[in-house]
Structure 1
Amino acid sequence: MDTDASSSGGWRFAQCFGDKGEVEDITEADIISTVEFDSTGNYLATGDKGGRVVLFERNEMKKGCEYKFYTEFQSHEPEFDYLKSLEIEEKINKIKWCKRQNAAHFLLSTNDKTIKLWKVFEKSLRVVSESNLLDGQRPVAAPTHSAQLKLPRMQQQDNIVAAVPRKVYSNAHAYHIHSISVNSDQETYVSADDLRINLWNLNISDQSFNIVDIKPVNMEELTEVITAAEFHPTQCNVFMYSSSKANIKMADMRDSALCDRHAKMFEEEEDPTNRSFFSEIISSISDVKFSHDGRYILSRDYLSLKIWDVNMESKPVKTIPIHDHLRGKLCDLYENDCIFDKFECVWGGDDKHVLTGSYHNYFRIYDTDTLNDVVLQADKSAFKAKKMGGPIPGNKMGIKNGRPGGMRENMALDTLDFNKKILHASWHPRENTIAIAATNNLFLYSAA
C-alpha cells in the first residue's frame, strides 16, 4: 500500500449510499448498526436500528470495486416482553454471512433477543400466458367441446430477490445479545450476551448449549461482563471472548462442555501510576478479532488498539493509541455517555493492516509492521468533492518522519462532533476496499 506523505496512503473515496442530508435531520431507524462483507467480498450487508437488512452486490459492469443495491428486507420487528415489562428493540446488533454452498445466500442477523437465519435467493415469477379463455391478454371465446380444451401455458415474467427466515433461534438469552460468530465448520455458531455464551447448530433452532457462564450466584458480586466473542478462523474447537476487565480469554471446547476454565488469558498489567476513576471504563475491551491466519488477535478498548500474539499472553505485541488527545476530556465524555461507545476493529484482508474508528467520522488505517497510519474522514464533503470533480478534502496527511498531517491535527481539535462516530466497519476479504458505517450513510473507500 502506498504510504506517500502527500496522499491519503493511496485510499480514495469510492461510493456513498444513503441520505445525503444533515445529521440533525436523521431518523433514528435509519442509523446503520452493523456492516459486513461476505467471504467472497462480492456482497455486502448492513443492518440498521429500524430492523432492516440491506444487501449490496458488486457491480461487475464497472471497473474497480463498485457496489449496487441488491435487496432489502425487514429482519426484526419491535416486541414487548410482557413478563419483564421490557421493550425489545428491532435494532440489528450483528450480521454474519454463512459460506455460500449453492445459489442462495444464508446470513444470520440478531437483535437483543432473537437470532434469525435468512435465506436470500433469486426466483422467477411466472404468469399464465395462455389458457382456455385468454391468449396472452386477449380474451378468446370459451371452448364448445372437449377437443378444443388445452392446457394453460406458463411464461416467465420477471426475476425477483426473495428473503425468507429459515430458522428463528429465540429464548436462549436472558441478557442482550451483542455477538454472533459462525464456526469454520459452517455447522455451528456462538451467540454471546453480557454473562453467557451459547453454542448453536445452524439446523437446530430449539436447542443450544451454554458453553460459558460467568453469572455469579449473587448478582451483587458481579464484577465483569462479556463484551465480545469470536470463533477461531480455522480451528473449529477454539473460540475467544473479551471482558470489561481488559482481558481476553481463549477456550477450547475439547477440554470440557462448560468452557469457564480458559486455555489462555491475554492480559496486560496496568501501570498503577495511570490509574484513575475512569481506568476500568476505558480499559474495557469493546471488540476482538482473530487475524485471518489465526496467529494474532486484535482488540479495541476506548483509547487504543492492541495486537496480541496468540502464543504470548503477558502483553500485546503492539499498542496503538487511537485518540490519546481525549485523555484530558474523559470527564466530559463520561457526562455525555460517549465513554461507553463501543468501537469495532477490523483486520485487512492481508492481515498487514488494521482499521478502527473515532469521532467526527474520522477513522484510521494502520500498517501493523511500521505503525504508519492514514487518517480518513467519512464525510459528506468527500461525496460532494467527487461529484464536483474536485480533490477530496483532507488528502494531504503526512505520515513520514512522524510529521502529523492536516487530518491528524483536525482530529485533536476541540471542535469534534461527538454525535458523528465511526463504530462499525468491514474490510473486503481479498482487496483493499473498506465499508464504513457513518450514522445513516454507508461509505466505500478503495486503495490501489
Structure 2
Amino acid sequence: MEADASGSPSNAWRFAQCFGDKGEVEDITEADIISTVEFDHTGDYLATGDKGGRVVLFERNESKKGCEYKFYTEFQSHEPEFDYLKSLEIEEKINRIKWCKRQNSAHFLLSTNDKTIKLWKVFDKTIKLVSDNNLSTAAADGGFRSGPVPPSNLSTGVPGVQPSLRLPRLQQHDSIVAAVPRKVYANAHAYHINSISINSDQETYISADDLRINLWNLNISDQSFNIVDIKPTNMEELTEVITAAEFHPIHCNLFMYSSSKGTIKLADMRESALCDSHAKQFEEEEDPTNKSFFSEIISSISDVKFSKDGRFILSRDYLTLKIWDVKMENKPVKTINIHDHLRGKLCDLYENDCIFDKFECTFSGDGASVLTGSYHNYFRIYDVETTNDIVLQADKSAFKAKKVGGVKGGPKGGKPGSGGMDTTGTDFNKKILHGSWHPKENTIAIAATNNLFLYSTQSS
C-alpha cells in the first residue's frame, strides 16, 4: 500500500493507494479477480467482491491525512453450489454488493451471486474472558479449605469469615470484526441475477435477472413479489433481456431498468402491481446508415445509474456513455464516445468475445462528472458540463513511479473530448469493468483484475 507523494495540484487526480498483489507475478487465480466495488453512503467504508465469493471491506484511515483506507475485514459470502434439477453449477462469484444505510453501530450489506442474495451484518464483537474465579481466589488464599463449609458462612457472611466461593467475573479481552448472514433470499430467480438495488425507504429492494425483476422486503426472506416479467410464452419469441435495474434515489415508488435493445424504462409501482407497462421509455432512434451486423450487440446497455438528485440517468453501452434528462425521453442530453476508436475493430472484438464485455458507469457525488472504464486498464472521467475529460490508467507502475496514471498513460494524440485513446498495443485482457465514486468527495475506487486502485484529488 503506497500513497502518491508527488506535489501535484490539489485539483489534479493522483494515484492514492492500491490493495492487492504489487509484484510482477502473473499467476493470478480466477478466484482473485475483483467482480464488484461499492462505497457505502458515507464514503468511510468500501467493499469489494471477487469471483471466489469473498467480500473484503476497507475503512477510512482517520489517522492519515487525505484519502487513505485500511483493511477492515474479510468474509466468505458465497460458496459454489450445484443445481441438481438443471444440472448446472452455480458460481460463487459476487455479482453485486449494496450497502444499507447505517442505523446503528453495525453495518448491513447485500451481496449476490447468480442465484442467491444474502444480507450480512458486520459488527465489532467483544471477546470476554473469565478474569476472576474460584481458582484465582484459592490460589490467593493458599488453597481451598478442607472439610464442609457451614451454610451460615456462605448465606449470611459472618464477619471475619473469608467466603470460600466467589462468582466468576468476565473481563473484556479483545475486539474482533464479525460478519454473520442475517437473511438468505433464495429460490426466486430462474436466471442469473445481474442487479440489486436498495430502495430509498431502506425497507425494500429489487433484484433483477435476464427476464424478471423481484421486489423484496429486507426483513422477509421467504417471499418476494414479481413486479416485471418480460418472459414470452414461447421462448423462441424472446427478443430482449433485462441488463440492469436501479431504484430512484428519492422517490420510493420509481425504478428503472435497461434492456439489451438499448432502451431504458422508468416504472411506477403505484400504477399497478405488475410494472410491465412503463411510465417512460428512454430510447434514441438509430441512424439507418450506421446499421450493421453488430448494431444490436453494441446498443445493449450494460449499466444504468441515477444521479444523486434523480434528475439525470447515466447509461453505458459498448461504445458510448449517454446522459439522459428524466423529463426528455426521445434523445440523451449528451452522448460521450468512449470506444469510437474501436468501431473498425468490431469484427475482431466479436471473435474474441470482448464485444460482450459489460462496462459499468457512475456519477460523481455532486453529479458534475461521470466515470467509466475501457481496455488496457484505462478509465475515463468526463466533465458533464464541458468537453473536458481525463484518461487515467490503473497500472502497477504507479507503485514505482508514484505518478498519476493519466500523466504517463493518457491517450497519445488524443484530444480532450475527442473520445480517442491510443490503441497501439492495447491489451484487451486488461479491462476496467468495475468502479465506484465516493459519495461526498473526488475519490474513486477502480478494480483492475485482482487489484483495487484508489485515485483522489485530496491532498495527502
* Structure-1 residue corresponding to 2:240: 224
The answer to whether the aligner puts 1:417 opposite 2:427 as a matched pair is yes
Assess if the C-alpha contact under 8 Å between 1:43 and 1:55 holds in 2.
Answer: yes
SS of aligned partner of 1:133: helix
* Structure-2 residue corresponding to 1:38: 40
Assess if the C-alpha contact under 8 Å between 1:7 and 1:397 holds in 2.
Answer: no
Assess if the C-alpha contact under 8 Å between 1:398 and 1:404 holds in 2.
Answer: no
SS of aligned partner of 2:349: helix
* Structure-1 residue corresponding to 2:391: 375
**Structure 1 unaligned regions, length at least 5:** 1-5
Distance 1:397 1:337 in 2: 25
Counterpart code for 2:241 = V
* Structure-1 residue corresponding to 2:415: 404
Shift of 1:142: 3.9
SS of aligned partner of 2:236: helix
Assess if the C-alpha contact under 8 Å between 1:8 and 1:374 holds in 2.
Answer: no
Distance 2:307 2:137 in 1: 61
Distance 1:35 1:138 in 2: 56
* Structure-2 residue corresponding to 1:182: 198
Shift of 1:140: 6.8
How many residue pairs match? The answer is: 435
Distance 2:10 2:354 in 1: 28
Identity %, equivalent residues = 80
Q: Pairwise mapping of residues 10-409 of structure 1 onto structure 2 (< 5 A)?
A: 10-22=12-24, 24-134=26-136, 141-142=143-144, 144=146, 145=149, 147-386=163-402, 391-392=403-404, 394-395=406-407, 404=415
Distance 1:372 1:258 in 2: 42
Cα pair distance change 1:364/1:398, threshold 3 Å: closer
Distance 1:408 1:262 in 2: 33
Counterpart code for 1:250 = L
Assess if the C-alpha contact under 8 Å between 1:51 and 1:76 holds in 2.
Answer: yes
Shift of 1:382: 0.9
Distance 2:139 2:196 in 1: 51
Counterpart code for 1:415 = G
Counterpart code for 1:395 = V
Cα pair distance change 1:342/1:267, threshold 3 Å: same
SS of aligned partner of 2:220: coil
* Structure-2 residue corresponding to 1:3: none
Shift of 1:19: 1.0
**Alignment equivalent of 1:426, drawn from 411, 421, 436:** 436
Cα deviation digits, residues 382-421 of structure 1 (max 9, x gap): 12212xxxx445416889xx9638x987x32231111110
Distance 1:51 1:138 in 2: 52
Distance 2:142 2:79 in 1: 47
The answer to whether the aligner puts 1:438 opposite 2:429 as a matched pair is no
Larger Rg belongs to: 2
Assess if the C-alpha contact under 8 Å between 1:105 and 1:120 holds in 2.
Answer: yes
SS of aligned partner of 2:62: coil
Cα pair distance change 1:19/1:139, threshold 3 Å: farther
Cα pair distance change 1:83/1:447, threshold 3 Å: same
SS of aligned partner of 2:14: strand
- RMSD between superposed Cα atoms in Å: 2.2
Distance 1:304 1:419 in 2: 20
Distance 1:117 1:148 in 2: 49
Counterpart code for 2:415 = P
SS of aligned partner of 1:25: coil
SS of aligned partner of 1:206: strand
Distance 2:62 2:338 in 1: 36
Distance 1:374 1:305 in 2: 15
With normalisation by structure 2, the TM-score equals: 0.91
Assess if the C-alpha contact under 8 Å between 1:114 and 1:170 holds in 2.
Answer: yes
Q: Which moved more, 1:72-81 or 1:138-147?
A: 138-147
Shift of 1:427: 0.3
Counterpart code for 1:442 = L
Shift of 1:138: 9.3
Cα pair distance change 1:91/1:150, threshold 3 Å: same
Shift of 1:8: 11
Shift of 1:345: 0.2
Cα pair distance change 1:45/1:398, threshold 3 Å: closer
Cα pair distance change 1:137/1:384, threshold 3 Å: farther
Counterpart code for 1:361 = N
Assess if the C-alpha contact under 8 Å between 2:394 and 2:405 holds in 1.
Answer: no
Distance 1:316 1:138 in 2: 81
Cα pair distance change 1:425/1:204, threshold 3 Å: same
SS of aligned partner of 1:158: strand
Cα deviation digits, residues 84-140 of structure 1 (max 9, x gap): 100000000000000000000000000000000000000110001121123699997
Assess if the C-alpha contact under 8 Å between 1:357 and 1:363 holds in 2.
Answer: yes
Distance 1:375 1:138 in 2: 71
Cα deviation digits, residues 352-409 of structure 1 (max 9, x gap): 00000000000000000102100000000112212xxxx445416889xx9638x987
**Structure 2 unaligned regions, length at least 5:** 1-7, 155-162
Assess if the C-alpha contact under 8 Å between 1:134 and 1:140 holds in 2.
Answer: no
Distance 1:286 1:178 in 2: 10
Assess if the C-alpha contact under 8 Å between 2:14 and 2:405 holds in 1.
Answer: no
